[in-house]
């Protein structure tokens, strides 16, 4: 592989976030990116690029347009920014 793009994201909206929606968001937005990168490593070439898409929410936190329900999304995207 010359290029790997790990692009995953869901963001539940609203104030009624549950532990299940929090977990689903972390599993998709963070663990999903990790799994794509890890699965690709045996097949990447020297000089390959690994791209993980983030979000401005990583810098702004849940105060962005996601509202209070976006905290898991913001957290996951912040970790992704430091992962790759």
**Could you tell me the residue ranges of all domains in the chain?**
1-9+51-84
Residue 66 has pLDDT above 80, yes or no: no
Q: How far is CA 77 from the centre of its chain?
A: 4
Residue 77 and residue 75: Cα distance in Å, rounded?
Answer: 6
Judge contact between 33 and 46, C-beta under 8 A. Answer: no
> Which position has the token pair 């347009």?
65
**Per-residue confidence band for 54, with pLDDT thresholds at 50, 70 and 90:** confident
User: Rounded mean pLDDT of 41-68?
Assistant: 81
- Please give the model's pTM, rounded to 2 decimal places: 0.82
User: Rounded mean pLDDT of 36-52?
Assistant: 95
Strand positions, DSSP E, 1-84: 3-6, 49-52
Determine the pLDDT at residue 62. Answer: 64
Residue 51 and residue 56: Cα distance in Å, rounded?
Answer: 16
């Amino acid at each position: 592989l010359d290029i790997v793009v790990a692009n995953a994201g869901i963001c539940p909206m609203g104030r009624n976030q549950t532990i299940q929606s929090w977990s689903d968001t972390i599993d998709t937005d963070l663990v999903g990116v990790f799994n794509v990168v890890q699965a690709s490593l045996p097949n990447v070439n020297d000089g390959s690029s690994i791209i993980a898409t983030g979000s401005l929410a990583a810098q702004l936190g849940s105060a962005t347009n996601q509202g209070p329900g976006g905290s898991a999304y913001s957290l996951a995207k912040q970790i992704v920014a430091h992962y790759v």
